[in-house]
Amino acid sequence: MFEVWRFAIGAAEKAAIAEGAAAGIVEGIKIAIKGIKDAFDIDFLSGKTLAEVITGKTFNNSTFFVDKILQEYNTMCVSSTTYQGKLICSLRSLTRWNVEPTTVISANAKQAAINAGKAAERVTAETTKALTAEKTGEVTSTSAIFSNPMVISFIVVVIIVIILLIIYLILRYRRKKKMKRKLQYIKLLKE
């Protein structure tokens, strides 16, 4: 019986961890998208929206961000003059102060990845803690106990045994009472 409970609690904890990780990934993706938009003023990478490009596997990968943003920088700013008003293209003006645009892109992309990773870890920890308490509470609650077929069977058997015991005691008492009367009649007849 105890093994069933341990298994149920373990399953509840695993489910909470999985849901917590999923919530953390969603938050990490949001923070990564916000970080990239704020730092570079871009909505697309390689012709796709940031939401399409930044996934659960890439939201905290700084190398991925650096590569993609450098490609976007080269496409938008180096080989074209169409996007000169964008923040990412204004990085070219930093060469006057001996700062390479690739250095700034690399630093900002890494910071966006680090912030996304931290946000994902924080949300994962908070969500996992809350869901673990909730799900283990569900497993150990009274209604969960009574929904287990083994527990229900045991309770039914105990109730049946108690009812049979009560019936036995009532019949025994009535029989004793009857025997007592019979003995009284026999005594009266002998006198």
Question: Higher model confidence: residue 62 or residue 99?
Answer: 62
> In terms of domains, do 129 and 116 share one?
yes
Same domain, 50 and 130: yes
Tens of pLDDT, residue by residue over 145-178, are 666 788 889 999 999 999 999 999 999 999 999 9
**What pLDDT score was predicted for residue 122?**
92
| 65 Ramachandran zone, left/alpha/beta (phi>0; psi -120 to 50) | alpha
Pair (98, 48) in one structural domain = yes
**Are residues 70 and 157 both part of a single domain?**
no
Q: Are 33 and 51 in contact (CB under 8 A)?
A: yes
Cα–Cα distance between 74 and 54 in angstroms, integer?
Answer: 20
**Tokens linked to 94:** 């930093």
Kindly state the DSSP code that residue 78 receives in the 8-state scheme. Answer: I
Residues 153, 114 share a domain: no
For residue 159, what are the domain limits? 149-191
d(CA 12, CA 34): 33
Q: Are 173 and 130 in a shared domain? A: no
Shared domain for 73 and 16, answered yes or no, is: yes
Q: How many structural domains comprise the chain?
A: 2
Looking at the structure, tell me whether residues 106 and 179 fall in a common domain. no
Q: Do residues 110 and 182 both lie within one domain?
A: no
Residues 21 and 104 in one domain: yes
pLDDT, tens only, 74-122: 777 776 666 666 666 776 666 556 667 778 888 888 888 899 999 999 9
Domain check: are 104 and 72 in the same one?
yes
| Statement to judge: residues 130 and 154 lie in one domain | no
Contact 11, 144 (CB under 8 A): no
